[in-house]
Every structure is written in structure tokens, then in C-alpha cells.
Amino acid sequence: MKRSQGPCARRNVRLPVELTFEQSELRLFGESLNMSQTGMLVVSEDPKPPGTPVRFQFDDFRGVARVVWRREAEEGSLLGMRFTALSREGRAALIRILRESPRYN
């Protein structure tokens, strides 16, 4: 199956990210592995179940996402997240980051 090259195509984006969870003081630090305009894959130390809302913050933008899936891997817990809220400025920063990043293989 060929990967999409359209607006939702994934890009290799490895950036540190801070994650916070609603109704909790817990702050986690992780790293994004890839992103698209609709979501991202993050590796983190503390997995959260699907459906968990997550506030995220990068240096260039922040927003809200929801955990869609999780699984364990050598590098830690992988969390597939779908963006649920991005400001106009955040969306612009995301698009810029995606344009500057290599395609995900």
C-alpha cells in the first residue's frame, strides 16, 4: 500500500514535547516521532489509554489531542494521537514544520 502524499501525509518530526493530562497534575516529557496535519505519534514513559485527552506543547505550538491508540515498543510507550484543538497560529506552525520535514517512510 502506498502512503498518502496529500495534506495528511506523515512526516518525520522528532521534537521534544511536554504532555499534560486533564484532571491531573501529571506532566510528562516525550518526543514526537512523526506528524501529519491531523495527529502525531509520540513516545513517552507513561502510557495513557485510548480516549484520554492530552494537552501538548512544543517550542513552536501547542494544542489539545486525544490518544487514539497505544502500544509498547523498545523505545517506550507509543501513543498515536489525533489533534482536537489547534489555534490558528498553532496550525500555521504545524504546517511550516511539516513542510520542512522529510516524508515518513
The reported pLDDT for the residue numbered 8 is: 67
| Per-residue model confidence as pLDDT tens digits over 40-59 | 999 988 778 899 999 999 99
* HEC-encoded secondary structure of 28-90: EEEEEEEECCCEEEEEECCCCCCCCEEEEECCCCEEEEEEEEEEEECCEEEEEEEEEEECHHH
Does residue 7 surpass a pLDDT of 60?
A: no
Q: Which domains does the chain have, with CATH numbers?
A: 11-99 (2.40.10.220)
pTM of the model: 0.85
Burial annotation 12-36 (CB, 10 A radius, 16+ → b, else e): ebebebebbbeeeeeebebebbbbb
